[in-house]
Amino acid sequence: MEKKLICVILIAALTACNQNKNSDAEASNSKGIDSLTPAQAARQLPTGPDTNVKITQEYAALAAKEAYFWAWPLVNMYNRRMAFKDVKELALSGPLLMAPLNQFTMLTDYVIPTERAIACPNQDVVYGIGCLALDQSPVVVQVPDFGKRFWVYQIVDLRTESFAKLGKMYDNKPGFYLLAGPDWKGEVPKGIIKVFRSSTNTGLVGPRVFLDDTKEDRKAIQEVLKSVVMYPLSDYDGKMKTIDWANIKKLPGGEGGKEEAVWVNPQTFFDELPLVLADAKPLPGEEAKYKQILAVVEAAKKDPKLKQAMIDAALETERQVIKPLMEFRSWGIQLPFHWSGVTNGASWGTDYFTRTAVAKSNILVNAPNETRYFYQDLDSEGGRLNSSNKYKITFAKGQLPPVNGFWSLTLYNEHHFLKSTSSTDIHWGQRTRQWHIIRTVRSRFMSSQRQLRQKGRTTGFLQWKRGIFPFIFALTGQSRK
């Protein structure tokens, strides 16, 4: 009885002390003394997951699924850089452009249809491609005088965000431009017109130069293409360098399968992720997301069962969530007659869904003021575009697409690539100042330009004799409307 009484007295005393402290604290806070600002309160919170705490396989799988989705484009870009890290010289390997890091290689004609490196190429421009490694060096990008020819350099970081504005729509002067990484603190050399700074060290540069589908323009474009060059800052001397792209080394190989090359492997994803996130510092609000997945990755290094749970989760996410995004109708702003589009291309911020959807279906889109993309998988009644039907596309009189650059409509196979040269590609646009069709035995254009003008509208009839097909309607150059 005596022991119980002592316990009761102690509890009562402690309670009284706590009440007094709480009263004192409330009185103190009411006077503005010792109160915490939101920033101070945040600093007193735990900085992230406790890595000493055991986690379950189910939790590891849950965290893995989320991270696999939002980091998919970043790992995609990282592995493109890794594919170029051992390249020693500028070359064309089959249909693929090869270049050492911090350089790019240019084509001299339209893209070769058998390439499988980047989905949804068009046949309006001469492409170039090269990967950035800005932790190694800033790079100089040359812009020649293109005259009236339309041009744009697509320059994106690890997140596929555009960070440089170089193109006809920006009225850039011919000359030298510098691309620098987030930590570069060097001196800008004389003669550099402008410095564009990336938030990541990894990125990609892809020049796109308009080409008319004529013998005359194929010849005329070659001279200006020679000055479309990129190189490390150490090679800069203030003089415009030239490369005869028609005579670079040609290597065998480079042929792919039916689908885009695999740039994201669920089996190795979480081994690569810490390196990727170290390059792409968290955006505001992403700090907790980064710490969460990195803590789980760290735990998985010590527990093979956790690691396998994460891999299984990634495989499931690839199959159930990522793969369906290949269909244009699965995402985007929904427009009349089953068209869709996006308005934040190459400027995603934390729009993880659209960023990953575009990366899966047609990675490396331009910013909206450079190109607007409209996607279509279905006909006006909602049926899948396929070879069993004939379709008509109509622009009303006086309502051709309002662009300052060019517009085009390109059909792709089910894997979002052009048909091989022995099959069918259909492409309409302005590159010949009229609708143009690349055709073989598998397609036919059923209405001539003269007949269209007589009808007072622009209408095309086509017949596709092999499988399903989506298409992209692209408006390049700042639109007037």
**Tokens 């690839």 map to which residue?**
318
Q: Write the CA distances from 156 to 207, 232, 280, 311, integer angstroms.
A: 12, 17, 13, 29
Q: Is the pLDDT of residue 9 over 50?
A: no
* Sign of torsion over alpha carbons 121, 123, 124, 129: positive
Structure confidence at residue 446 (pLDDT)? 28
Structure confidence at residue 167 (pLDDT)? 97
Structure confidence at residue 419 (pLDDT)? 77
Structure confidence at residue 456 (pLDDT)? 45
Q: Average pLDDT in the 227-242 region?
A: 98
Q: Average pLDDT in the 432-451 region?
A: 33
φ/ψ (deg, to 5) at 352 = -65, -35
Q: What angle do CA 451, 457, 458 make, to 5 degrees?
A: 75
Q: Is the pLDDT of residue 477 over 90?
A: no
Per-residue b/e over 327-340, b at no fewer than 16 CB within 10 Å?
bbbebbeeeeebbb
Q: Average pLDDT in the 417-422 region?
A: 67
Q: Is the pLDDT of residue 430 over 70?
A: no
Q: 309-366 pLDDT, tens per residue?
A: 999 999 999 999 999 999 999 999 999 999 999 999 999 999 999 999 999 999 999 9
Q: Which of 88-92, 418-422, 439-443, 467-471 is modeled with the greatest confidence?
A: 88-92
Residues 6+ apart with CB under 8 A from 12: none
pLDDT band for position 126 (cuts 50, 70, 90) = very high
Q: Write the CA distances from 200 to 142, 273, 279, 386, 387, integer angstroms.
A: 21, 14, 6, 42, 44
CA distance 24 to 116: 71
Q: 160-180 pLDDT, tens per residue?
A: 999 999 999 999 999 999 999
Give the DSSP H or E segment for 421.
none
